C-alpha cells in the first residue's frame, strides 16, 4: 500500500450552542480535512482545526504546510514505513503542529487499515469504550447553571467548566454550578490561562474553604509560566493539570521534573499527531503521572483517533475530554463508531473506521 495522492477539503459543521472561552467565541467547526489516497484504493482521513490563539495554526498555514511541505515528501512511500514517515512529517517544517497532526492521523489510519485492524489494537489493544466529560462555555451565571443541569440530565457525570475572564465572577459561577449539580456530577475547571498564579491560589483556597470539591483545575496561568504552574501546584489541594504548558515530550519531562502539574493534558493538535502523543503517554507512565486526552473544536475524524489512543493507553490516560462531536449539531462522519451522550464506543472496522465524510468543500 503506497501513498499516491491527497486531497484537502474544508469541513463546515454548526455547533449546538456557541463555544465560549476566556480566549475566543466560536459558532461552528471550520476545519481542514486531509484525505490521503493509495494505490490499493484505501483512503486515510485526518483533520486540523485553525486555533491561532493556542497553536498558532490558521487555515492558510495548515493548507500550505500540508500541500507544499509535508505531503510532497510522502508521495510514493509505503504506509508500512510508519517510523520513517512520522519522522519526515515532524521534520518537514518547524511548528505547524495541527497540520502535522492531520497528516499523522491519516497515516496511522492507513497503517491500521493495511493490517485490517482497528487502530486501538495496533496501538496496544484495550476495551473500546470511553466516557467523556462535556464543556460548559463561559457565560452569565444563570446560563451556565442551566447548561450544567441540562448536561447532567442528558447523562453527563463530569462537567468541564470554562472560566478565566473575571476571577470574582468566576468564583460565583463555580459556586452556583456546584450547588446545582454537586450530588450528580464532578466539576473540572478550565481557566484557559486566564489567571495569575496568585489569583489561582486565592480562588482555589476560597472554593476549597467553601466546600466546593473539584476534580481538577486546568491551565490556570499562561502556558509559558512554568514557575507559576509550580507555584499553584504546590499550594492547592485541587489537582492541577497542564494544557498549553505542555505541547511536546521535552516540555512534559521538564514540567514533571519541576513538579509543576499533577496531570498532563494530551491533545493531538498540540503534539503534532499520534507519534508524540504516544511518547508523552509513555513518559507520564514512567513518572506515574496521570494524563487526560483532550481535543480542540474537532469533529469525530480526529476525535476518534484520540479515542483510539486513549483506549490503548488507558493505564495512563485516565481522564477523557473528547466532547467535540457532542458539541456539533450533526456528525458529518459516516462510521460505526458511536457517540451516545457521554459514551464513545469505537468500531472494530479497520483503521479509524471512517466510510465517508459529509459537509466537505473540496479545496
Tell me the CATH number at 12.
Answer: 3.30.390.10
Same domain, 95 and 206: no
Domain stop point among 116, 147, 181: 116
Q: pLDDT at position 53, please? A: 86
Residue 105 located in a structural domain: yes
Shared domain for 106 and 140, answered yes or no, is no
Residue 279 lies in a domain: yes
Instruction: Decide if 165 is catalytic.
Output: no
pLDDT at 290 over 80: yes
Based on the fold, state whether residues 100 and 154 are members of the same structural domain: no
Q: Is the pLDDT of residue 248 over 80?
A: yes
237 is in an annotated binding site: no
Q: What pLDDT digit, counting tens, does each position of 313-355 carry?
A: 999 999 999 999 999 999 999 999 999 999 999 999 999 999 9
**Per-residue model confidence (pLDDT) at position 165:** 82
Q: Was 81 annotated as part of a binding site?
A: no
* Catalytic position from the list 43, 162, 313, 319: 162
Is 135 assigned a ligand-binding role in the annotation?
yes
Number of domains in the chain: 2
Residue 18: pLDDT over 90: no
CATH number at residue 143: 3.20.20.120
Residue at which a domain ends, from 116, 146, 171: 116
The answer to whether residues 87 and 185 belong to one domain is no
SS3 category, 60: helix
Active site residue 267: yes
273 DSSP assignment = S
pTM of the model: 0.96
Residue 351 lies in a domain: yes
Q: In the Cβ-directed half-sphere of 136, how many Cα atoms lie within 13 Å? A: 33
Hey, what's the cell of 230?
509550580
The torsion angles phi and psi of 52, rounded to 5 degrees, stand at -60, -35
Catalytic residue (one of 267, 270, 313, 319): 267
Q: Is the pLDDT of residue 23 over 90?
A: no
Assess whether 269 and 233 both reside in one domain.
Answer: yes
Nearest to 26 by CA among 108, 102, 137, 131: 137
Residue 105 belongs to what domain range? 3-116
Same domain, 140 and 82: no
Please tell me what DSSP assigns to residue 233.
Answer: H
pLDDT confidence tier of residue 19, bands split at 50, 70 and 90: confident
Q: Is 243 labelled as part of a ligand binding site?
A: yes
- Cα dihedral: 110, 328, 28, 308 (round 10): -30
Is 32 in the same domain as 138?
A: no
Of 93, 116, 139, the domain-final residue: 116
Buried b (16+ CB within 10 A) or exposed e, 108-141: bbbbbbbeebbbbbbbeebebebebbbbbbbbee
Tell me: is residue 142 an annotated ligand-binding position: no
Confidence of residue 21 (pLDDT cuts 50, 70, 90): confident
Give pLDDT, residue 20. Answer: 79
Q: Rounded CA gap, 138 and 144, in Å?
A: 7
Q: Does any domain span residue 219? A: yes
Looking at the structure, do residues 63 and 187 belong to the same domain, yes or no?
no
Q: What percent of the chain has pLDDT over 70?
A: 99
CA-to-CA distance for 332 and 306, rounded, in angstroms? 17
Tens of pLDDT along 49-85?
999 988 999 999 999 999 999 999 999 999 999 999 9
Summarize pLDDT for 300-316 with one digit per residue, the tens: 999 999 999 999 999 99
Establish whether 343 is an annotated binding residue. no
**Average confidence score pLDDT of the chain:** 96
Which pLDDT belongs to residue 317?
98
106 and 10: one domain? yes
Q: Mark whether 109 and 135 lie in a shared domain.
A: no
DSSP structural state of residue 239: P
Question: Is 333 within a domain?
Answer: yes
For residue 76, count CB atoms less than 10 angstroms from its CB and return exposed for 0-12, middle for 13-18, buried for 19 or more.
exposed
pLDDT digits (tens, 9 = 90+) for 166-185: 999 999 999 999 999 998 99
Q: SS3 letters for 3-44?
A: EEEEEEEEEEEEEEEEEECCCCEEEEEEEEEEEEEECCCCEE
Do 168 and 195 meet the contact criterion of CB atoms below 8 Å apart? no
Residue 314 CB: number of other CB atoms within 10 A?
18
**pLDDT value for 310:** 98
Average of per-residue pLDDT across 256-277: 98
295 in a known ligand binding site: yes
Does 328 reside within a domain? yes
On whether both 84 and 232 belong to a single domain, the answer is: no
At residue 44 the predicted structure's pLDDT band, cuts being 50, 70 and 90, is very high
Q: Is residue 162 part of a domain?
A: yes
The string of pLDDT tens digits covering residues 188-234 is: 999 999 999 999 999 999 999 999 999 999 999 999 999 999 999 99
| 149 and 29 in a common domain | no
pLDDT of residue 24: 73
In a domain, 363, yes or no: no
**Is residue 345 part of an annotated ligand binding site?**
no
Amino acid at each position: 500500500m503506497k501513498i499516491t495522492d491527497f486531497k484537502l477539503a474544508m469541513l463546515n459543521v454548526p455547533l449546538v450552542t456557541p463555544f465560549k472561552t476566556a480566549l475566543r467565541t466560536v459558532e461552528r467547526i471550520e476545519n481542514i480535512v486531509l484525505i490521503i489516497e493509495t494505490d490499493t484504493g484505501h483512503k486515510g482521513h485526518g483533520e486540523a482545526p485553525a486555533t491561532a490563539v493556542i497553536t498558532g495554526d490558521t487555515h492558510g498555514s495548515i493548507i500550505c504546510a500540508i500541500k507544499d511541505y509535508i505531503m510532497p515528501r510522502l508521495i510514493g512511500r509505503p504506509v508500512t514505513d510508519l517510523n520513517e514517515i512520522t519522522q519526515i512529517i515532524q521534520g518537514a517544517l518547524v511548528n505547524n503542529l495541527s497540520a502535522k497532526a492531520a497528516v499523522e492521523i491519516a497515516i496511522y489510519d492507513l497503517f491500521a487499515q493495511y493490517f485490517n485492524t482497528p487502530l486501538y489494537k495496533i496501538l496496544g489493544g484495550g476495551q473500546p469504550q470511553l466516557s467523556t466529560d462535556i464543556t460548559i462555555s463561559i457565560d452569565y451565571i444563570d446560563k451556565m447553571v442551566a447548561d450544567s443541569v441540562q448536561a447532567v440530565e442528558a447523562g453527563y457525570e463530569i462537567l468541564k467548566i470554562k472560566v478565566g475572564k473575571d476571577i470574582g465572577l468566576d468564583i460565583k459561577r463555580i459556586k452556583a454550578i456546584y450547588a446545582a449539580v454537586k450530588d450528580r456530577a464532578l466539576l473540572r475547571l478550565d481557566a484557559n490561562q486566564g489567571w495569575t498564579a496568585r489569583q489561582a491560589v486565592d480562588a482555589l483556597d476560597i472554593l476549597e474553604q467553601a466546600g466546593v470539591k473539584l476534580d481538577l483545575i486546568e491551565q490556570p496561568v499562561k502556558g509559558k509560566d512554568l514557575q507559576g504552574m509550580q507555584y499553584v501546584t504546590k499550594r492547592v489541594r485541587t489537582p492541577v493539570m497542564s494544557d498549553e504548558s505542555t505541547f511536546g515530550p521535552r516540555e512534559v519531562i521538564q514540567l514533571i521534573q519541576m513538579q509543576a502539574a499533577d496531570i498532563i493534558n494530551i491533545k493531538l493538535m498540540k503534539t503534532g499527531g499520534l507519534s508524540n502523543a504516544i511518547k508523552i503517554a509513555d513518559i507520564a507512565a514512567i513518572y506515574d503521572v496521570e494524563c487526560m486526552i483532550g481535543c480542540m473544536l474537532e469533529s469525530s475524524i480526529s476525535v476518534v483517533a484520540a479515542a483510539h489512543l486513549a483506549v490503548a493507553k488507558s493505564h495512563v490516560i485516565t481522564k477523557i475530554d473528547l466532547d467535540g462531536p457532542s458539541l456539533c449539531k450533526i456528525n458529518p462522519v459516516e462510521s460505526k463508531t458511536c457517540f451516545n451522550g457521554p459514551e464513545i464506543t469505537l468500531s472494530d472496522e479497520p483503521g479509524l473506521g471512517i466510510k465517508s465524510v459529509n459537509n466537505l468543500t473540496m479545496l
